[in-house]
Structure formats: structure tokens, C-alpha cells
Amino acid sequence: MAGDFHPWLQQFLQQIDSGSLAPASSLQQGLSDSELHRLWHSQLSSRLLDLQSRLLQAKGQSFYTIGSAGHEGNAAVAAALRLTDPAFLHYRSGAFFIERSKQLPGSTPLYDMLLSFCASSDDPISGGRHKVLGSLALNIPPQTSTIASQLPKAVGAAFAIDLSKRLGQSGNWPADAIVMCSFGDASANHSTAQGAINAACWAAYQHVPLPMLFVCEDNGLGISTPTPQGWIEQSLADRPELRYFAADGRDLAQTYSVARKAAHYVRTKRQPAILHLSTVRLFGHAGADTETAYRQKHLIEAELTLDPLLASTASVLARGILSRQQLYDAVTALAYQISRVAAVASARPKLQSAADIMAAIAPLRPALPAPPLPQSAIRSALFEFDKHNLAKPQHLAKLLNWTLHDLFAQYSNTVLFGEDVAKKGGVYGVSQHLIQAFGGNRVINTLLDEQSILGMAIGLAQQGFIPIAEIQFLAYVHNAEDQIRGEAATLPFFSNGQYHNAMVIRIAGLAYQRGFGGHFHNDNSFAVFRDIPGIIVLCPSNGADAALLLRQAVQLAYEQKRLVIFLEPIALYMTRDLLAPGDGRWLNDYPLPDTPIPALGEPAVFNQGPEQGPAATPQLAIISYGNGYYLSRQAAAELENAGYTLRLLDLRCLVPLHLDAIIDALGECSQVLIVDECRRRGSLSEELFTGLCEARPGFYQLSRITAHDSFIPLGAAAYAVLPSKQQIIDKVQQLLSGESAT
């Protein structure tokens, strides 16, 4: 039956049988016989799984051939760490995963990994959604084929562990845990990796505890692009506050010894370190990769002699741990075992329906009682700084500030962080006085790097906090959006709901700011968020709704573990008046903490016109949000004087759109105008238009006003490309008079 094995395995068995294995260059001093045998077994298991995957792929039963061959020395890194140390793994970490599994009795890594290779719905981590290395029990958050994108959240997790200790919060990982994150030498050049390493050094330079062990597995290749000789050491060895360790990943004893020293340094000093692990890449980048197309054959053959599994096998023989016959029998037995397990795994069920596939995007979780509201005496002291304003109506920014104070008093595991949010209170003062009330461990200024801010949010969420990250301007998120799209939002999906990234991301944005140009400070498009499954986007237009919606956002993160984008219209932060200077009609009283929160997706409804009452049917409904709703209210007030009766809907929840609630709010009003301040192409109006047409075919007469497909210029010119009050008035009159569109 050996003929059924992969050609490499057949050759390996022949070498063992004939005694032609190269003699051991090292006896692996420093490892006991049992340690060496255990690590060798993890290496061999990983290699045989890689080979089995390629055999399965040839039969159309496996979908994963990016293997760990040549990187199996990372088993020694796993042995140097604890089960409770969270590990964010590079995709060539099969041996690490298997070795860590041995720390948890009852683990079945061979079966689990083969289920994942075969995309079976029985896969215990992703439920058949992707090949990932991950396990909740093993403290390995699942990763897909990451190119450094896991580094920011690993740094965030390292920060979160010691923050839990400082705040007395019980987290998911113990106070003495350290975080390990592995990545390749090519990934080390990615801006995401550079930013994460810089963030770790930046924090450590200021004596902020950050128990982070980076592991760069350097095989010298980024698919076909060679890494310059010595580049990784040159670029990582002299980073401030980052201790550098190096080991030959082909030498188990050396790797284990150095990894233990690195882990001890990180654990005791609570400072970051980098372990530079020299490895070799065998069998190409992946199954479809033809190395001979870009590498000389003699180089490929030379690397085969550097195989770490051959080296450790020779050491096992040389030390007499196994005889040649015992070795042959052990390899053959494990190969047969994996083949049998593969046959079972490949026959297990697969995901079939869209509903089953999507069930993990945002799984419904059991109701969780919110923490009790703060007592009145606590609130009185908390709002002492602004007591002279409490009884007066306030603008949106002020009511958001008060809401944050109440939420921080109610939810002890909330943390607010971002650029300038502490003593300055944010660019627009939304977080003023929070640091004085709750201290610098809960209100944190970060470095200027959105990838690090969002990675910090992910790490905090996985430690059990409710992170409230602030992105200073909407356009600033685009350089880091993959931390939301590719990392935060996907984690429930790739872990079958076992992991989550519950968080609130506050983003100041949208247009209509006076004196500002685009696109960084006047960005009127949030389209990137509309394309990400599972996230929620809330957007208030006024202070009262801002308070209620922010409470809803935190409640959704706390109870349902949801990722919520809270989009705050900058131009409405300080807006006081609606129709005339000094009228104060856009100010609101502060909704007290026990005020009921509207159902998610329920639009706010405002009726305007001479004909009012339960029986009155509006002539036209306007659907909008944010600045568009504010302008629509202004337009409706003028249109009332001309005798028009209108219904205005403020969507409030922009993603996902709750069409049933919108249709219910429209009632029997068939004439609908959508006012969307975002660009015509890719705006929310497209989804609304389509959704309403599909829901009630032929019933609605739909029109829309949007911004032009333009960036926003500086000064008064900005208003030439944005919807205006007059445009709304003209459009309503045109529609209700029966005029054709110009």
C-alpha cells in the first residue's frame, strides 16, 4: 500500500529502509528524548497532512495546498509557549497547531485539520467555511491566508491583557499570558506589519506593558520574489524597545531554547520581542505553484537537503530513540492513520444552503441583561463639570459626550481610544472630560495610525472589553479598512460564531463642513461599509437620536457581540438652529439613561403639513439620513407654507436597511423622494430604490436627489456638488405638480 503514498513519502521511507538518510548534524542537545520525539512527531504529522491534502486535491476532495513543509520547526515555538498564550498564526503553522494540541488532552488535530482541508461542515473551527488554523480551546483565533493583517490585532490583544490587570477586569486570557504572532519574511515588508511593529515599539518606549512575541518565519521567498540576504535581521534587529532573538528553524533544540528565552523575556518584562526563525520553503508556495518557472532547479534541489524533518529524523535515529525499523514502522503507521482519517473526513457533510453558510456572519446570541444603570448620586458627581447645562437643550456633540459618560459609568469594560481623544477631548470635543472622570486606562490617546487603532479594537474585543474606537475623519479609515473587512467582520464567519469582535467604531464624517475641502475632511461616502457582511452602520441626525443610537450600539456590542460603525455627521455636531438664526430647533433635551431605545432599523418619522392627524395621508414621503434629513426638514417647513403635506423618514440605521420597517413607516404614501448626500454612484439611494421597487412592484413612484459623482472642493464650491434645501423644494414641487423631470 506504500504505493498509494505521496512520492515524497515513498522516497522518505526508502531512505529510512536503506539507511541512506544523511547523518545527524546535531544530536539536539538540550532536548530530552521524550521532548525530541514529541516535537518530531508533530513535525511529521504536519508534513504528512500536507502531503495528504495534495492527494485529496487531486481527487477533488481538498481545497488547501498551502502547506507548512520546511516550516515545521515552529513546533518548538509552540512547545515554548503555554496553552493560554493566544497565538495569531501564519498559514504555514501546521506543526505549531499540532504541538499545541498536545497540551490539551482529548484534542484531535489530525481529524480537525483534515475536516478543514475538505471544507466539511463538521470542521470544529470554521464549520466548513474556509481552511483556517484556529481553535477556541487552544487559544488560536482563526486566520485565513493573511499577509500581515493579523499583526495589528495581535498587538491589540497584547495591550489588552495587561490593561485587564490594571483595570481589574477578568479577561479571556490570564494576566500572565503573552501573545504570539507569526508571519513570513515577505509579509514583514507590508505596511500593516511595519505599522504593528512600530505601534508595539511606540507603546513599549513609553513603558506601556505589551507582552508581544513576533515570530518572523524567514524562508527567503515571497512566492517568487527573493528576500534580500540579511534584510530581515537588518530591518528588525535594531528597532527601539524590540528585543531581537534569532534561531535556525531547522534545529529543534536551538529553536526551542531560543523561543523559551524569548517567551521568558516577554512574559517577565511585559515588553515586545521578535524571534527571527530561519526556515526553508519546500514544494513551492502552494500546490499550483510551479517553482521551476522562476527558480533554478539546482537551488530547489539544494533546499531539499535542508529539510528540517530530515534533520530531526536523523537525530531521533542517532540518539537511539527509535531504531531504523521502529522509525519505518512509526512513519508508515502514521501515514496509514492519516489516510484513513482523510477518507472519513472527505466523506463528512459540506455546507449546502446559503442560510447555513451565512448563519455565522452575525449569529443571534442569547439575551444578556445590561449592567445596572449608575445611581443618581454617581451621576450627579459625574456630570458636575456640566451641571449648569443639564437642564438645557443641547447640540449633538454635547449629547454624545454626556452619553459616553453614562455608558462608561454603566459598562465598566468600555474603553475609548483614538487620536487626541484624551485631554483634548477629540477634534470636536465629543470626548471631553472623560479622562478626568475615568482615567487614562479607559480613555487612551493612540499613535496616528488607523490600522493600529482598529487592531487595538479587535485585540480588546477578544479579551472581553467593549472597545469604542474613534477614527478622526471618515476618509482616514480607508487606509485601514481591511482591519474591519478582512479581520474584524470575518472572525465570527470563520470561527462559526465561536469568536467575535464586538466593538463600536465612532467615525466623524460626511460632508457640509464649512471651510473644509475634500476628500479627507469632507468625505460624503461610506460605501465601503455597505459591502461588508455582518456589520451595522448607525447614523444620527440630531442629539436625541445620537444618545439613543450610541446606547444601542454599545448594547449590540455587549449582548449580540456585533461590530457597529457609528457615523457622526460633523456638520451637525454643533448645529443649533433649523429654520432661522437663534431658533434653537435642532437642539434636544438629553434622553435619560432609562429612555427606551428604538428597535434596530426603525426609522424616525416626522409629519409636516397643514393636513395632520391619524387619517391624513401625506402627498409625498422623503427618505433621508444625516445632513440630508436636516435639509429635508428645512425644505418641508417651507413647503408646508405652500400647502404641501409631507412625511419625512430619518433612516438612522443605514446598514443593514430594514425595508419592512421603512415600508411600514411609509404607509400608503406612494410618492417617494430619496435624498442622499452621498455620491449618485454607489450611494444608499440605489439600494433603497431597488428594494422598494422589489418589495411593492409598481406601487411606488420613486425619485432621488444625490450628490454629484465628484470629490468635494474647498469653500462655497462644495455646495455645488451636494444636495441642497432648494433642490429638495424644487423636486417636491415638480413631482407633486406632475411636471416631467428636466
Q: How far apart are CA 448 and CA 418, in angstroms?
A: 8
CA-closest candidate to residue 212, choices 512, 444, 455: 455
Question: How high is the pLDDT of residue 297?
Answer: 85
**What is the pLDDT confidence band of residue 528, given thresholds at 50, 70 and 90?**
very high
**Mean pLDDT within 606-629:** 86
The whole-chain average pLDDT of the chain stands at 93
Our measurement of the distance from residue 75's CA atom to the centroid of its chain's CA atoms, rounded to an integer in Å, reads 27
Q: What is the mean pLDDT of residues 67-77?
A: 93
Phi/psi-derived region of residue 233, left when phi > 0, alpha when psi is between -120 and 50, beta in every other case = alpha
Provide the 10 A C-beta neighbour count for residue 133: 27
The answer on pLDDT for 251 being more than 80 is yes
Q: Taking Cα atoms as reference points, which of 458, 469, 468, 470 lies closest to residue 495?
A: 458
The torsion angle over the Cα atoms of residues 194, 200, 206 and 210, rounded to 10 degrees, is: 180
CA atoms within a 13 Å half-sphere pointing along the CA-CB vector of 312: 32
Checking DSSP bridges between strand 653-655 and strand 536-538, what pairing results, if any?
antiparallel
Same CATH fold assignment for domains 2-348 and 604-737: yes
CATH of the domain spanning 376-572:
3.40.50.970
The pLDDT of residue 1 is above 70 = no
Instruction: Return phi, psi of residue 637, to 5°.
Output: -65, -40
Q: Look up residue 286 and give its amino acid.
A: A
Residue labelled with grid coordinates 461542515? 121
Rounded average pLDDT over 308-334: 95
Domain boundaries, the chain: 2-348, 376-572, 604-737
With the C-alpha atoms ordered 413, 414, 419, 420, is the resulting torsion angle positive or negative?
Answer: negative
The residues, ordered by sequence, that sit 6+ positions from 630 with a Cβ below 8 Å of its Cβ are: 541, 542, 572, 575, 578, 586
Stated pTM of the model? 0.95
Burial 162-183 (b: 16+ CB within 10 A, else e): bbbeebebebbbeeebbbbbbb
Q: Do the Cβ atoms of 648 and 605 come closer than 8 Å?
A: yes
- Residue 741 confidence (pLDDT): 44
Q: Calculate ∠ Cα 569-572-578, nearest 5°.
A: 140
Sign (positive/negative) of CA torsion 433, 438, 444, 450? negative
Output the pLDDT for position 612. 66
Outline where 59-190 has alpha helix (H): 74-80, 94-101, 109-117, 151-167
Class of domain 604-737: alpha beta
- Return the CATH number of 2-348, one of 3.30.565.10, 3.30.43.10, 3.40.50.970, 3.60.20.10: 3.40.50.970
Of the listed ranges 2-6, 98-102, 370-374, 389-393, the least confidently predicted one is: 2-6
What integer is the mean pLDDT of 404-420? 97
Task: Find the length of the chain.
Answer: 742
Question: 114-149: per-residue pLDDT in tens?
Answer: 999 999 999 999 999 998 999 999 999 998 777 899
**pLDDT of 582 strictly over 80:** yes
Range name among 189-203, 272-286, 461-475, 609-623 with the lowest pLDDT average: 609-623
